[in-house]
Amino acid sequence: MRSTTGAAMFKKIFLTVLMIFITAVVAADAQDKKPVFHVMNLEGVITAPSAKYVAERLEDAKQAGAEGLIILMDTPGGLDTAMRDITKSILNAPLPVIVYVYPSGARAASAGVIIAQAAHIAAMAPGTNIGAAHPVAIGIGGTAELDKNMSKKVENDAAAYARSIAKIRGRSEEWVEKAVRKSESIT
């Protein structure tokens, strides 16, 4: 017949061994789990549906518990409002966003430059380029003087926005301003 002290001691030892075993199993399971990143394509002209698509994919990645979102990008640029919506989504994303200019032969031009600048990580496949972000106004009419003033206003706004995004992410403010003002492009 066991004493109550022996039974209590046995119970404590058993529970301690059980807890060690459970901890080991949980730790081993955690080590087996690989980080999961969601991947999406952003191709063609940047438009309002593009901005909605990026926001939806970010939300999907968050809901799935993904470690981040990888955007495979190939764009000639697009609408300023859509680019700004995408940029805001990335800057305020609840998880890291990686923009990868892909595949070889792809580009991140115009609006694509600013989107890439907003990403936590921006990378490029070999044989790709980024730049030429000078704003292009479509449909502005009027006198030559008005067009010149409007163009300068739009350019200054785009340059300031690009610099602010580069600063947030610790990237070259000087280069991104040259991409906007002088249409510089790099590989």
Q: Which tens digit of pLDDT belongs to each residue from 92-110?
A: 999 999 999 999 999 999 9
Query: Any catalytic annotation for residue 153?
Result: yes
Pairwise CA distance, residues 33 & 119, whole Å: 25
Confidence of residue 34 (pLDDT cuts 50, 70, 90): confident
Q: Does residue 65 lie in a domain region?
A: yes
Q: Which tens digit of pLDDT belongs to each residue from 127-178?
A: 999 999 999 876 555 556 658 888 899 999 999 999 999 999 999 999 999 9
Q: Does residue 14 lie in a domain region?
A: no
Pairwise CA distance, residues 133 & 183, whole Å: 6
pLDDT of residue 183: 97
Q: Does residue 60 lie in a domain region?
A: yes
Overall domain count for the chain: 1
pLDDT of residue 86: 99
CATH number of the domain enclosing 162: 3.90.226.10
Q: Does residue 27 lie in a domain region?
A: no
- Per the structure, the complete domain to which residue 50 belongs is given by 36-186
For strands 121-124 and 129-131, give the pairing. unpaired
Query: Any catalytic annotation for residue 185?
Result: no
Q: Does residue 106 lie in a domain region?
A: yes
Catalytic residue among 12, 152, 153, 167: 153
- Residue 38 CB burial class (10 angstroms; 0-12, 13-18, ≥19): middle
Q: Is the pTM higher than 0.85?
A: no
